[in-house]
Amino acid sequence: MITGKDPRWRAGTAVSAAGINGWGDQPPLAYAAALRAMAGGVVSTARLLWRRRVHLPTEHVGRRLRFADGTSARVYRETVARRGATEDPCVLVVEFRLRAVRGRAHAAFRWESLLNTPLFAGFPGFASKLWLAHDERGRYRGLYEWDGPQRADHYARALWRVLALVSVPGSIHYMVLPGLRRDDLLARPHVLAGAAASRAAWWRPVDIS
């Protein structure tokens, strides 16, 4: 995690609940660093695909997640990378709102978004992603499990540069929740109920159906 002694650090978002000390919205990586990170991720994704270690299970597809801010979104895809056991689990939640995407264009985006898999699957520590469709406010979310909170943070700050090309300014946000597995959060979303400053948090699931 970036600390206050790091010159790149600025005040972001921090939460604490049930021993989970989360953070988010740190500055994006510099353009060159983000480009290197993305390029490395694409190469690693190609290796994983060649070895047939990237899968699209359907267990969670169709489930609806309701969030503390009163919105909800449906899972329309799941991506999993088979890399062995996750030793230092964390949950990463990312949100953004696309520019000029309305009506049927959302369905087109969901279809073509599969092509974005190389933007995350090959990053060090990636374990799984639930792709969430747009909510009532037009925002998309990705709910990930990552092996290593610092790795998740690094990915989110690199991804920001890509999302900024297609997203409404100010709509990109992320939250890293260390020590938490995705499936545990889905089974017991109340584990985050006491998180500070999160009573209306866009990233906190409160119910899954």
**Residue ranges with strand state E in 70-121:** 72-81, 89-96
Which residue ranges make up each domain of the chain?
Answer: 18-135+155-192
Cα gap 89→111, rounded to integer Å: 29
pTM: 0.89
HEC string of 10-72 equals: CCCEEEEECCEEEEECCCCCCHHHHHHHHHHHHHHHHHHHHCCCEECCCCCCCCEEEECCCCE
One digit per residue, the tens of pLDDT, for the chain of length 209 reads 333 333 333 346 666 655 667 898 999 999 999 999 999 999 999 999 999 999 999 999 999 999 999 999 999 999 999 988 899 999 999 999 999 888 888 999 999 999 999 999 999 999 999 999 999 999 999 999 999 999 999 999 999 999 999 999 999 999 999 999 999 999 999 888 776 556 568 999 999 99
Identity of the residue numbered 147: D
